[in-house]
Amino acid sequence: MNNLNETISRVLNDENDVRAATAPYQAEFPYERDEEAQVTRREFCNFLGLTSAALFLGAGGFAAKAAIDARNLESFSPAQISGAETLAPNSSLNFNYPTENDSAILIRTADGAYHAYGQKCTHLSCPVYYSRDHQRLECPCHEGAFNAATGEVLYGPPPRALDTIAVETRDGQVWAIGRQTSGVEHGS
């Protein structure tokens, strides 16, 4: 009987000590201490099951969207790139092609040639920019770089070259006439 009373007393003292120690945190993060134990093992397992379903649907949805996008990339119509004719050598211009939602970048290299690419980095879709100092396209997110004249990967994590946009000059105006997706593996 003494042992039982002693155990009960020790447990209550421990509880009081814990409450005293956590009191400052309770003020900042108020939660009901008694409700901490209300998440049962079964509920936790159900949560993991829902997480599993969400991850499965996420993977499936992303794969489906990629497959649909790949089919929709086939048709293009020519579009004039306004302002390109006055672009100075060793500089760049942003435009949208083939749709308003597809950002692209036009580069006029130092030798006066025009090159255009999709602006999404092939690593994780950050927008690339033209570095005039290094005369190459650079991705600020993970330090990838692309050749300004070919779009090929120079270094960094991008797995393939930038998407190439074909351009041509018609009566002094620069037109985008098509977009080609590169599937070439970097380093392979």
Partner 1 sequence: MLVMINIAQLWILAATVDAALARHYSVLLPLVIASGVCFLITLSIIRWWRPTSRRKTSSGYIRTK
Question: Residue 138 or 163: which CB sits closer to partner 1?
Answer: 163
Q: Are 134 and 143 in contact (CB under 8 A)?
A: no
Residue among 9, 30, 39 at smallest CA distance from 22: 30
Map the footprint of partner 1 across residues 76-115, applying CB under 8 A.
none
Residue bearing tokens 């020519």: 78
| Among 22-30, 41-49, 87-95, 168-176, the segment contacting partner 1 (CB under 8 A) | 41-49
Sole binder of partner 1 in the list 8, 12, 18, 59 (CB under 8 A): 59
Residue 160 in the binding site for partner 1 (CB under 8 A): yes
Amino acid of residue 154:
L
For partner 1, the binding residue among 8, 48, 113, 149 (CB under 8 A) is 48
For partner 1, how many residues bind (rule: CB under 8 A)? 28
Shortest Cβ 51–partner 1 spacing (Å): 5
Alpha carbon dihedral 52, 53, 55, 56, in 10-degree steps, equals: 120
What strand order describes the sheet that includes 173-180?
A: 79-80, 173-180, 164-170, 114-118, 103-108, 91-96
* Residue 110-129 contact track with partner 1, rule CB under 8 A, x = bound: ------------xxxx----
* Residues β-bridged to residue 92: 107
Footprint on this chain of partner 1 (rule: CB under 8 A): 45-46, 48-49, 51-53, 55-56, 58-60, 62-63, 65-67, 70, 122-125, 159-160, 181-183, 185
